[in-house]
Amino acid sequence: RFPEMRQRMHNCRFNDCLHVDEPGCAVLSALEKGEIAEFRYLNYLNMLGNLTG
């Protein structure tokens, strides 16, 4: 799931990055540049919320 995010995850500053609000997040950087569609990122956040309760 989320291949456009997965290919960037290894570039995050921290290994345990959840791609929500961490500094140095490559996924958030790509989102800000328009390289990841906002609706896809929102779907990721929704899925993450379901997993973490």
23-53 pLDDT per residue, tens: 999 999 999 999 999 999 999 999 998 887 6
* Confidence (pTM): 0.88
User: Do 34 and 9 touch, CB atoms closer than 8 A?
Assistant: no
How many residues in total does the chain contain? 53
Looking at residue 40, its pLDDT comes to 97
Is CATH 1.10.40.50 what the domain over 3-52 is classified as, yes or no?
A: yes
In this structure, what DSSP letter does residue 49 have? H
Q: Provide the pLDDT for residue 31.
A: 98
pLDDT at 1: 85
Residue in the structure block whose two tokens are 């989320």: 2
Which residues 6+ apart lie within 8 Å of 19 measured at CB? 5, 9, 12, 25, 27, 28, 44
The predicted pLDDT at position 49 comes to 87
